[in-house]
């Protein structure tokens, strides 16, 4: 294990942190890296956050962050911490950097909060095992990350209109009694907020939209061969029919996240998704993302709609045990994705 200095992040660390981010490719088949205006831009979506650096002989080799939130879970006030942005330079992996910076992060968190949670992409088994071991996160809740390609206009019969994000948030939370993971919900502080929609007549469905385009944009690093072949095969067909975009190396993915999504029925859900799809098409957005708990009935409804979708496994982990149960209907803060 090499000698490391653990220090708070400062603006002087930004350039080195962005270089570190550049080296940390995410995913295996479709490989992505994140583009940020500054490294701390992602953290600035939160009211309170800390970023911790690991340095070897003055060189930044690892970094980690966490945000502090005063939330409500099961009607109980909880001081929560969301841990994210763990990065280690590839040349320094398997040398104890991740363990030391995670221990420093955990010590920092435990001095100020009662509850810790994180999100792990299903393909990142190394991170999953490391987080469970180091953070002692025993409560595991499976999620599904849904990707809906935007490539053609969909028919929409019911009328949906722009809505107030706070009203959508309150309506959504009415189905999750005793929860509030976005304290003092204020759309003016949601840096990635785009717009909200609601069913015009009776409010039977609604959602809000978020983009990471200017916060944590996704850039394609590598594309699997099957998608490369598909992109070539699609090229002549695009002259005759609309087809989903197949990304190529270097592309920045334009996407919207749907959050605070609710719908009274499959029909209302389809009409809402059609409205969002058509607005995305008008704004040159290529993909819609939705993150749902595996037990969420909307997951089955989306599957029944017959829309073209792709899914990835995700996991919500937390500690200590007892604050949340694996059977709980949790709330996912869009800022965390």
pLDDT recorded at residue 123 = 65
And the tokens for 280? 């995305």
Percent pLDDT > 90 in the chain is 75
Spell out the domain ranges in the chain.
Answer: 5-137, 146-213+254-336
Residue 279 has pLDDT above 80, yes or no: yes
Residue 313 has pLDDT above 80, yes or no: yes
Q: Is 251 exposed, middle or buried (0-12, 13-18, 19+ CB in 10 A)?
A: middle
In the chain, count H helices and then E strands. 7, 15
> What are the CA-CA distances from residue 237 to residues 231, 241, 244 (Å)?
10, 6, 11
Give residue-wise pLDDT tens across range 20-67.
Answer: 999 999 887 889 999 999 999 999 999 999 999 999 999 999 999 999
pLDDT recorded at residue 5 = 95
Give residue-wise pLDDT tens across range 61-77.
Answer: 999 999 999 998 888 89
Instruction: Calculate the average pLDDT of the chain.
Output: 92
Q: What kind and span of H or E run contains 38?
A: none
- The three-class DSSP label of residue 84 is strand
pTM: 0.94
Which letter does DSSP use for residue 299 in this model? Answer: H
**Is 146-213+254-336 in the same CATH topology as 5-137?**
yes
Give residue-wise pLDDT tens across range 187-220.
Answer: 777 899 999 999 998 999 999 999 999 999 999 9
- Give the CATH number of domain 146-213+254-336: 3.40.630.30
And the tokens for 311? 């899914």
260-283 average pLDDT score: 96
- Higher per-residue confidence, 185 vs 319: 319
The partner residues of 317 in beta bridges, in order of sequence, read 118, 140
pLDDT recorded at residue 157 = 81
Instruction: Tell which CATH architecture fits domain 5-137.
Output: 3-Layer(aba) Sandwich (3.40)
């Amino acid at each position: 294990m090499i000698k490391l200095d653990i220090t708070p992040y400062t603006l002087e660390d930004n350039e080195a942190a962005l270089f570190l981010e550049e080296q940390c490719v995410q995913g295996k088949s479709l490989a992505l890296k994140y583009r940020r205006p500054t490294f701390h831009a992602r953290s600035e979506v939160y009211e309170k956050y800390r970023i911790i650096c690991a340095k070897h002989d003055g060189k930044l080799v690892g970094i980690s962050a966490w945000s502090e939130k005063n939330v409500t879970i099961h009607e109980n006030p909880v001081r929560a911490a969301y841990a994210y942005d763990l990065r280690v330079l590839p040349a320094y992996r398997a040398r104890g950097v991740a363990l030391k910076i995670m221990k420093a992060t955990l010590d920092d968190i435990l001095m100020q909060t009662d509850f810790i949670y994180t999100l792990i992409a299903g393909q990142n088994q190394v991170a999953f095992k490391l987080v469970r071991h180091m953070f002692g996160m025993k409560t595991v809740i499976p999620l599904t990350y849904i990707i809906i390609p935007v490539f053609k206009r969909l028919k929409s019969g019911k009328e949906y209109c722009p809505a107030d994000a706070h009203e959508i948030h309150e309506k959504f939370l009415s189905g999750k009694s005793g929860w509030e993971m976005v304290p003092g919900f204020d759309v003016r502080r949601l840096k990635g907020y785009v717009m909200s929609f609601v069913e015009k007549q009776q409010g039977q469905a609604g959602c809000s939209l978020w983009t990471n385009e200017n916060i944590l944009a996704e850039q394609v690093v590598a594309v699997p061969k099957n998608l490369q072949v598909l992109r070539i095969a699609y090229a002549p067909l695009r002259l005759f029919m609309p087809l989903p975009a197949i990304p190529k190396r270097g592309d920045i993915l334009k996407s919207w996240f749907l959050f605070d999504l609710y719908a009274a029925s499959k029909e209302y859900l389809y009409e809402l998704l059609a409205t969002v799809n058509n607005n995305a098409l008008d704004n040159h957005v290529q993909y819609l993302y939705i993150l749902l708990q595996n037990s969420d009935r909307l997951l089955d409804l989306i599957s029944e709609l017959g829309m073209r979708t792709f899914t990835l496994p995700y996991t919500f982990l937390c500690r200590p045990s007892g604050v949340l149960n694996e059977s709980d209907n949790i709330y996912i803060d869009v800022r965390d994705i």
